[in-house]
Amino acid sequence: MKKTKKGRVVSAAMDKTITVTVDTQRQHPRYKKYLKQRSKFYAHDENEEAQEGDRVLISETRPISKKKRWKLTEVLERSGGET
């Protein structure tokens, strides 16, 4: 079973590559306070269908380049700036 993550597209400036940020929360082991964490992933977008601001689902795949290990599965929600 491949891992999947939901996130927001921060940049779509590269060819067939999008940058996705994934926000998560984790609990501090001692103080039990919830902390926000933000991770950035590079994902392969073959048809270049995702745009900046879209909410997307990415899934794990084989290494495509030095930093690209994820691919775009689907666009969950389009950003409001579309015409």
Q: Which domains does the chain have, with CATH numbers?
A: 4-77 (2.40.50.140)
Residue with tokens 């990415």: 58
Cα–Cα nearest to 5, from 76, 62, 80, 67: 76
Looking at the chain, how many residues does it have?
83
At residue 82, the pLDDT reads 57
The predicted-structure confidence for 25-81, as pLDDT tens digits, reads as follows 999 999 999 999 999 999 999 999 999 999 999 999 999 999 999 999 999 999 876
pTM: 0.87
pLDDT at 81: 66
E strands present in the chain: 4-11, 17-27, 34-44, 55-60, 68-77
Backbone angles phi, psi at 57, to 5 degrees: -115, 125
Please give the mean pLDDT across all residues of the chain: 95
pLDDT score of 20: 98
